[in-house]
Amino acid sequence: MEECYENSSCYGPGGLCPVRVGDLLGPDPPRYRVAAKLGWGSYATVWLARDIVGSKTVALKIVEAASSQGSTEAAILGRLRAPPSVEPLVLQLFDAFTVTSPNGVHQVLVTEPVMLLQDYLSLPGRRMTTRALMRQVVEGVAFMHARGIAHGGESPTNIGVALPEPDAFSEIKLWKRIGAPDVIPLLASDPTRDPASFPPYICEALDLTEFVRQWVPDFATRSPPRARILDLGSAYAVDDSPPPPCGCPLLFRPPEVIFQQLLDRANSGPWDCRSDIWSLACLLYEIATGGCLFGGSMGASLNDSHLKRLARASGSLPDAWAKHLSISATQYTSELADEFWKEREISDKTIEDGLGLLQLLRRMLVIDPARRPTAEEVLRDPYFDGLQDPGVGVELDPAFTRYS
């Protein structure tokens, strides 16, 4: 059941906000009417809604009460708003407010609706090339870094693409096209439980891929959409705040953070913009191949073996690591790294210039964060040279001033 619905135990003090289809939310007077569930995560549910004042379709991210306290995501998104003349690279924030439920006070972020990158890649006949798509993602990270924001770890679930014609999705047309969602009624096993602390039912998330296929059947073959960086709950301003607890999946987590966590089992580590570059490289590999660079599953364990895999890919082992692992640093050489990357060769039938992509990733996946390229330098890498693709937006300014 939890594969299709959020865990009902998440509704309680400090937990998720009980929401029903048809609810009106917003500041006085309420203006956002919930139409369908888009998804959920560990700390929030996301809904498709209609702004009945602005007559447009939006997405509502409703954060659990415990995580709403001290959340900086709204401020971060506000800092990353694109100028009117520039195509956005990051999810655009329209509004932010709080709602109160028996479970506490919940932050609500009103944003543009997007579909996840993984869903877009499943659409047949898409016009945007994979390399052009990857360039957009890198450009988005460079934009964030130019604004002094570290993402806190890119992964496939943090990338989306803008929906086509979102304001045409009226509620009536929506439900006529896809039908009502499957729902599971909720009843409290404890008779003393406040029934207002959980919704009367939990509903299945809208299959956005199927909806787009039906609503805009030529979406993948028309002018390519723009990628958006999403889910900035772990992002932070590097110039004025310490990094929040690490929320990046282990297989995308940079080695400096993993090593610190192995030493003191801390929840956070020395994350900065250079750390983003490591997780970005892992993301680019997954976009290109559909597989994880360092193997295993998303539930992989935090242990010494994983740290050794990262050292093998880089071809180096810092002295502090060697002491912690009780091994010789000389075991990890560039020849060992060559073997690692040979095992992960990418065919040109899979991605444009697979060898060029691997060479770029090797330059990004360096153990020492100070030796990694910046996001701007990644954009100027030979792999992206001469990219003439309709999916690419405005060319990058040499001084990267168009976002300043």
Cα dihedral 70/76/77/82 (nearest 10): 160
The residues that bridge with 150 in the sheet, in sequence order, are: 236
Measure Cα distances from 17 to 9, 70, 192, 205 in Å: 12, 17, 19, 16
Angle, CA 343 vertex, CA 337 and CA 345 arms, to 5°: 100
> How many residues are given for the chain?
404
Is residue 144 within 8 Å of residue 379, measured between CB atoms?
no
What is the enclosing helix (H) or strand (E) of 280?
helix 273-289
Residue 204's SS3 state is coil
Q: What pairs with residue 47 in β-bridges?
A: 37, 60
Concatenated DSSP letters for 142-187? HHHHHTTEE-S---GGGEEEEPSSGGG--HHHHHHHH-PPPEEE--
What are 108's strand-pairing partners? 62, 97
Residue 176 labelled as part of a binding site: no
Rounded to an integer, what distance in angstroms lies between the CA atom of residue 35 and that of residue 33?
Answer: 6
Q: Distance between CA atoms of 80 and 64, rounded to whole angstroms?
A: 23
- Residue 351's Cβ-count burial label (10 Å; 0-12, 13-18, 19+) is buried
Give whole-number Cα distances, 372 to 152, 198, 207, 361, in Å: 16, 47, 39, 10
Burial of 207 (0-12, 13-18, 19+ CB in 10 A): middle
**Residue 113: cis peptide before it, omega within 30 degrees of 0:** no
Q: Which residues line the annotated binding site for ATP?
A: 61
Q: Which residues line the annotated binding site?
A: 61
